[in-house]
Copies of this chain bind each other. A is one copy, B any other.
Amino acid sequence: MADLLPVNPYRGTRDFLPEEMAVRQAVFSKFYKVIETYGFQRYDGPLLEPAEIYEAKSGREIADQQLYTLTDRSGRRLALRPEMTPSVARIVARFAGQLDFPLRWYSHVNCFRYERPQRGRVREHWQINCDIFGSESEVCEIEIFDLVHDLMAAVGATREQYVLRVNCRVIAESAMRHIVGVPEESLPQVFQVVDRWEKVTEEERVADLAEAGLDDKRIERLNEVLTGDGGFVDELPADELADSNIAKLLKRDERNLFKFDPLIIRAFEYYTSTVFEVFDTDPVNRRSLFGGGRYRDLAGLFTTQKIPGIGFGMGDVTVLDFLETHGLLPTPRIGSDVAVIPVKAQLNEAARTVTRSLRAAGIKTILPLVERSLSAEMKRAGRNGCRAAVIIGENEWHRRAVTVRDMRTGEQSEVPSDQVVDRVTQILQAEPGTD
């Protein structure tokens, strides 16, 4: 006999059995519903894209180390999308002439990154992307932040359990120049240190900043800017902040929507002003859940038309981990509503007739697929979540009747076959599901 192949999925990818899938779907449905009340419309695009759309623009980390690439039989170099932004930029550029900007678009897609699998990191993940294209107004920031809070609320998270940390690269660059005194050429290096600020020790930070050319005084000022209350923003030249929607919001009531936080920089992404990230506030689990930002010119790789955008990508792994950690995972009812059980194989056709009437009424109905005893089938119906069982007995069926059992109370009664749907519906409504 040939050797058996391994049953485990490829490293960093996942199998979802129906129980887990039902939980995922319950969470995603809540997200879709909120996103759609915001007027976002769903689009979709290919998993395979020309490799150059990532190599040209994505953060170097992705293109160099994390991209899954392949070459097709005609020599075309392709990549499995590591994120949706380059695809949606291409799509928006492709149809720009016929689209009614501004757009509110969302998608939910599988993405691939070659990562060392660890908590919160997998190689195939599912990401919900929400973007507004075609507006530079700070109204977009407000919409997106409101949406973030409503998404979190929809899955039961309170404002104490997470924090929306927001920064603006325009503010950050201005502060680096005018308050810290970072030389222009050191900016990228300094931002990379800021990006890792909470992940490394103070000693490492100081060493890295010194290497970037910052003396002790500048390092101290940087420390003050990053860890203070953001009061420094008022000291920055107003003309430099003209493009900063966050600078505008900081002077208004909407600043309550977020925590201004100069540590959020997302150095490896290609945002141009607003950047934000949602964090778990649990002290033992202060992880980033998801984030996003604003692009001045989203589709510049594909078109000369300037299309600004703001949005975020929310991956399934961190969000579902968060919900699990906080005891917020939903417990959807899985399985079926009712089992139709003929007491012998000769009654299979009768069972099928009853089953079809129940299904036609939208009731999730199963019937036995192997011959088993009535009691074995009743047990299976219970394991399957059925709240009613319809037993087809020979004598009853002769007078066109069946026995309907309420699986919760154990009560059962004979019901004319043309009233089965009504009786089962009654039982199902008496104990509403949780999904």
Contact = CB atoms under 8 A, between A and B. Distances in A.
Interface of A: 1, 4-11, 13-18, 21-22, 24-25, 33-34, 36-39, 41-50, 52-53, 56, 68-70, 72-73, 76, 78, 80, 90-91, 93-95, 99-100, 102, 104-105, 110, 112, 114, 123-124, 132, 134-135, 137, 139-140, 142-143, 146, 150, 253, 301-304, 334-336, 348-349, 352, 356, 358-359, 362-371, 380, 383-384
How many copies of this protein are present in the complex?
2
A386 to B, nearest CB: 9
Contacts of A70: 68-70
Nearest to A37: B359
19 contacts: A1-B304, A6-B50, A7-B303, A10-B76, A13-B47, A15-B43, A16-B44, A17-B43, A17-B99, A18-B43, A21-B42, A21-B43, A25-B42, A39-B365, A41-B335, A47-B47, A68-B72, A72-B114, A134-B370
A261 to B, nearest CB: 23
Given A15-B95, A146-B356, 15 more contacts: A4-B301, A4-B302, A5-B50, A8-B94, A9-B91, A10-B76, A13-B46, A14-B45, A17-B91, A21-B42, A34-B359, A41-B335, A134-B370, A137-B370, A139-B367
**A-B complex: 7 closest residue pairs judged by Cβ atoms:** A13-B46, A18-B41, A7-B94, A39-B366, A70-B70, A135-B369, A37-B359
Most buried by B among A9, A10, A95, A369: A369
A70 B69 CA distance: 7
Contacts of A364: 36-39
Contacts of A39: 335-336, 364-366, 384
A5 to B, nearest CB: 5
A112 to B, nearest CB: 7
B137 A302 contact: no
B94 A150 contact: no
Most buried by B among A41, A114, A302: A41
A362 B15 CA distance: 33
B135 A45 contact: no
Contacts of A53: 5
A366 B10 contact: no
Contact of A380 (B1, B10, B100, B132): B100
Contact of A46 (B72, B91, B124): B124
A253 B43 CA distance: 45
